[in-house]
Amino acid sequence: MHSDVLERTRGRWSGILPALGVPAKFVNGKHQACPLCGGKDRARFDDKDGTGSYLCSQCGSGYGIHLLMKLHGWDVKTAMNRVEEVVGAAKRIVRAERSDKHNRDAMNRLWRSAKKLDDNDPVAWYFTKRGLVVDRGSLVDLRCVYGLIADDRPTWHMMVAMLRSPDGKPSQLHRTYLTADGGKAPVEVPRKMMPGHIVPGSAVRLGKVSDAKWLGIAEGIETALAATQLFGMPCWAALTEGMLLKWDPPDEVVGVRIFGDSDGNYVGQSAAYALAKRLVRMNKIHVEVSIPAEVGMDWNDVLMRPPEEQK
């Protein structure tokens, strides 16, 4: 019986989920807050093959039925019964899936359209506003895309960051939308990945491994650059808590310093120590964890404080 119900749901989850308490906004396919664990842009409803599938970089992924079970604390039987009550009224929507080639071509076009960083582009102004003094020559995997002005409508520029897999090959692109003067663009989701697969263990490489073979890792790009400025150590960015947990250092690294966020919900701290535990067990390298003393801070917040308060 359950398999019959699930077959009837295929392509109908955009109607089923809102009818059963999932925010209607969540099924629009955009990166946004997770209905289970919150955040800002960590989750997305992708509905692959009409299964109601979703992804969250913090609490994991699943299908539509799993989302309902977790959201309401239902067992399988209860969830199936509730779905059966509403499936008949839900419209079937068939989505065309983008191919891997389509996603890869889109990333290649964006990267080719991007310019190397200079002193007066929106990315430079963005870094200045955040107290960051950077060596542009080492940031070869960061670029700037200038928006096109059309019909006097607002246009946003982008900081484009390339993620590389553990073997050094390009894996994905991340975008941060900016205003011309380096402010964060007033859009619903100012930071987002390009569509497509991300190789586990990937990160944005913000400089080369030090001569001492030590390397820092943080979540955000700004946090990683701040850690480099504060501690004199090259630091890469994993971008999310989930990707931080899966990050792998290059083979030549003998020591890693994890610059975790001091989150009020302890997500950043938990991810930092979980990564430390995994690296020590798997790679037998030296690992240190550094987290700001004050809750609610990341290392870029620390950098922007007076020097006597930077700890």
Q: DSSP string spanning 166-218?
A: TTS-EEEEEEEEE-TTSPBP-SS-SEEEPSS---TT-EE--SPPPTT-EEEEE
Last residue of a domain, one of 22, 57, 89: 89
Q: Is residue 97 part of a domain?
A: no
Say whether both 222 and 283 belong to one domain. yes
Task: Say yes or no: 107 and 219 in one domain.
Answer: yes
266 in a structural domain: yes
The pLDDT tens digits for 238-270 are 998 889 999 999 989 999 999 999 998 898 999
Question: Poorest-confidence range of 90-94, 129-133, 307-311?
Answer: 307-311
Does residue 240 belong to any structural domain of this protein?
yes
Residue 243: CB partners within 8 Å, gap ≥ 6? 57, 198, 202, 203
The two tokens of residue 246 are 């899966």
Say yes or no: 173 and 283 in one domain: yes
Nearest Cα residue to 117 out of 105, 129, 109, 125 = 125
> How many structural domains comprise the chain?
2
Task: Name the residue with tokens 């400089």.
Answer: 207
> Sign of dihedral through CA atoms 176, 174, 37, 80?
positive
* Residue 15 lies inside a defined structural domain of this protein: yes
The domain spanning residue 53 has which CATH number?
3.90.580.10
Which of 177, 196, 174, 180 has its CA nearest to residue 188? 177
| Residue 94 is assigned to a structural domain of this protein | no
**Same domain as 130, residue 278:** yes
Locate 145 and state its tokens: 């895309």
pLDDT category at 308 given cuts 50, 70, 90 is low
One domain for residues 55 and 126:
no
Domain limits at 28? 2-89
Based on the fold, state whether residues 171 and 31 are members of the same structural domain: no
The pTM assigned to this predicted structure is 0.71
pLDDT tens per residue, range 202-219 = 999 999 988 889 999 999
205 and 68 in a single domain? The answer is: no
What is the Cα–Cα distance from 71 to 65, expressed in whole angstroms? 10
Shared domain check, 304 and 168: yes
Average per-residue pLDDT for the chain: 88
Q: Is 177 within 8 Å of 242 (Cβ atoms)? A: no
Task: Please indicate, yes or no, whether residues 177 and 68 belong to a single structural domain of this protein.
Answer: no
Domain boundary among the residues 24, 55, 89 is at 89
Residue 114: what residue type? A
- Of 49, 67, 89, the residue that ends a domain is 89
Establish if 231 belongs to a structural domain.
yes
Q: What percent of the chain has pLDDT over 70?
A: 93
Query: Does residue 54 lie within any of the structural domains?
Result: yes
**pLDDT level of residue 169 (50, 70, 90 thresholds):** very high
277 and 155 co-located in one domain = yes
- 83, 202: one domain: no
What are phi and psi for residue 55, nearest 5 degrees? -130, 140
Backbone angles phi, psi at 159, to 5 degrees: -95, 120
Query: Is residue 204 one of the residues assigned to a domain?
Result: yes
Question: How far apart (Å, rounded) are the C-alpha atoms in residues 67 and 35?
Answer: 9
**Based on the domain organization, do 195 and 74 belong to the same domain?**
no
